[in-house]
Amino acid sequence: MWVESFSLQLESPLSTARGQITERRGCLVGNDGGLGEATPLAGWTESYEACREALEAAASDDVSPDPEATPAAAHAVELAGLDARGRRTDKSLAALLRQELGVSKSVPAAVPVNATIGDSAVEQTVEAAETAVSAGYDCLKCKVGSRPVDEDIERVRAVRETVGDAVGIRVDANGAWTEATAETAINAFADLDVSYVEQPLAADALEAHSHLRGRGVDIALDESLAEVSIETVIEREAADVVILKPMALGGPLQAIRAAAIAREAGIEPVVTTTIDGVVARTAAVHVAAAIPDVSACGLATGSLLADELAADPVTIAEGAASVPTDGGLCGDGFAELRR
């Protein structure tokens, strides 16, 4: 197994609940003709240094990284193995994953994706929403939480009035609100037909999240899954929707298993990336395609990067991401990255 480091700059700094991101450092992994990517993200995965150390240990000792301790490293190694297996058998990664789930239906040609609308003033928010809808998106995710809640409500109201009732709207607070603020927002968003509020409260506030459910807007958990298992979320009745990041969960297989567990409990899975490079982003598209009737996912993130590892085999058009059909990730694609 070989390991090679990389660094990708973002087009512009991205603010998250855990700080500002300006670059994505990670490692490519190759094994038996398969390719994997580890792009750790602080707060969701191990550090870059811990990831690199785990991958180097795996390369020298032939021991797979622990998905709980070093999920990004585990993701890379697992993905490389799946890619190699798919290329040998001429089965796409999505087809392999559906096989693991016991799903007999064929893989869809594309999966729906949402457009992300940044945390700007009302006019800019509306303009971004109009641009996204014009590009074919029928689901928008609006960032909220850094402004007074009344301003966020007005921003979302302006978007709803602009795009009409046929476009889905989600909001993502990145854990910024108190329970009282979240209640105010959710009560208003229910009247605006917002489908869900993502991570309204801090990651560890599972009981408080459970209290927010049943108010006309679903509660989605994202950052919480970096701290607790999907089983704990279910046990605490803390969510209607879970946001699954394959990189943070330890690999594509871990992600689809979490999706199956969630569905069994009546919770809807949504697949997103951790602002990954093209290899892991392609894998996330396959993960989404493996989940039957998956709702719009957060996979249209390639435009956030100023540079890239290789040409993207996935096209984003009319609010959907195409699913590569060749063996593994994309057959002989990414040839320049393979050894």
Per-residue pLDDT of 3-41, as tens digits, reads 999 999 999 887 655 567 889 999 999 999 999 999 999
- Reported confidence tier of residue 124, pLDDT bands at 50, 70, 90: very high
pLDDT score for 77: 98
Question: For 47-56, what is the mean pLDDT?
Answer: 97
Please check the confidence at residue 305 and state whether its pLDDT lies above 70.
yes
The CATH topology of domain 110-333 is TIM Barrel (3.20.20)
CB 139 within 8 A of CB 168: yes
Please check the confidence at residue 75 and state whether its pLDDT lies above 60.
yes
Question: For 87-95, what is the mean pLDDT?
Answer: 97
pLDDT score for 18: 59
pLDDT score for 43: 85
CATH number of 2-91: 3.30.390.10
pLDDT score for 14: 76
Residues 6 or more apart in contact with residue 286 via CB below 8 angstroms = 92, 93, 94, 97, 252, 323, 324, 329
Please check the confidence at residue 120 and state whether its pLDDT lies above 60.
yes
pLDDT score for 42: 87
What's this model's pTM, rounded to 2 decimal places?
Answer: 0.96
Question: Of the residues 91, 105, 141, 245, which is catalytic?
Answer: 245
Distance CA 39, CA 180 (A): 36
- Say what percent of the chain tops pLDDT 90: 92
Question: For 69-81, what is the mean pLDDT?
Answer: 98
pLDDT score for 13: 80
Please check the confidence at residue 233 and state whether its pLDDT lies above 90.
yes
Distances (CA, A) of 111 to 43, 60, 116, 270, 285: 28, 38, 16, 11, 8
Q: Residue 95 CA to chain centroid, in angstroms?
A: 20
Neighbours of 106 (CB within 10 A): 9
Map out the domains of the chain as residue ranges.
Answer: 2-91, 110-333
Active site residue 245: yes
User: Which of 215, 187, 212, 191 lies closest to 202 in space, CA to CA?
Assistant: 212
Q: Using H for helix, E for strand and C for coil, what is the string for 132-195? A: HHHCCCCEEEEECCCCCHHHHHHHHHHHHHHHCCCCEEEEECCCCCCHHHHHHHHHHHHHCCEE
Q: Buried (b) or exposed (e) across 16-47, using 16+ Cβ within 10 A?
A: bbeeebeebbbbbbbbeebbbbbbbbeebbbe
Question: For 333-337, what is the mean pLDDT?
Answer: 96
- Reported confidence tier of residue 198, pLDDT bands at 50, 70, 90: very high
pLDDT score for 16: 59
- Residue 31, both tokens: 């094994």
Q: How many CA atoms lie within 13 A of 329 on its CB side?
A: 31
Question: For 240-269, what is the mean pLDDT?
Answer: 98
Question: Of the residues 91, 105, 141, 143, which is catalytic?
Answer: 143
pLDDT score for 311: 96
Please check the confidence at residue 280 and state whether its pLDDT lies above 80.
yes
User: Amino acid identity of 167?
Assistant: V
Active site residue 91: no
Residues 6 or more apart in contact with residue 126 via CB below 8 angstroms = 158, 159, 162
Residues 6 or more apart in contact with residue 198 via CB below 8 angstroms = 141, 170, 171, 172, 173, 174, 220, 221, 222, 241, 243
Q: How many CA atoms lie within 13 A of 338 on its CB side?
A: 16
Considering the chain, what is the average pLDDT of its residues?
Answer: 96
